Amino acid sequence: MRPARLVVLVSGSGTLLQALLDAVAERGPQAYGAEVVAVGADRHNIEGLRRAERAGLPAFVRRLKDYPAREDWDRALTEAVAEHEPDLVISAGFMKIVGADFMARFGGRYINTHPALLPSFPGAHPVRDTLAHGVKVTGCTVHFADAGVDTGPIIAQEALEVRDEDDEDSLHERIKDVERGLLVETVGRLAREGHTIEGRKVSIP
């Protein structure tokens, strides 16, 4: 079987993208089951795009402010991603919520990561919220994105202890370490083995 084609969307440093690139380079696309074929972004001059350039990958930018309405941006982003014929689309720190056109095209194939154990602490500040609530265990979630905010079917999760000395930065860094490994493992399994979604339950054979 050919490796699954991945389009990765980024908004910043691209460390999740790099984790995927490293996994493909170390194992080979056939053994890993997937390869990154393009990188998209919502802004120029970010490290994520430079990582794509160093890897020799095509990249594209679709900035929200360049379009008269959010729906126009969503259509443009959808078309740009679709040009690369992805099997899976990965939101690797992509800080924009996609719209109806994108989800109609890539629903059930659009993967997001979140630095908390969903459904707890969705939204933009999950690590801050975790500490504010005094929970003792947190972690990260890999899930299929849907029309809501961090509400899609959960694929995989990994837990992490919250330490007494943790602040937002230190806890987030420890979560990121786990998040990179979980994303690489989960995407590889999905690519090699496939999946089914029944209601909110995701099954990988």
* Residue found by looking up tokens 């330490």 in the block: 163
Calpha distance 205→193 (Å, rounded): 6
Q: Strand (E) positions, the chain?
A: 4-10, 34-41, 59-61, 88-91, 110-114, 137-144, 154-161, 196-198, 201-203
Helices (H) and strands (E) in the chain, counts: 7, 9
Token look-up 């941006």 returns: 73
Taking CA 49 as the corner, what is the angle to CA 145 and CA 144, rounded to the nearest 5 degrees? 10
The catalytic residue positions are 114
Q: What is the DSSP-derived secondary structure letter of residue 109?
A: T
Residue 92 CA to residue 8 CA, distance in Å, equals 6
Q: Which residues pair with 139 in a beta bridge?
A: 159
Please give the structure tokens belonging to residue 16. 């999740």
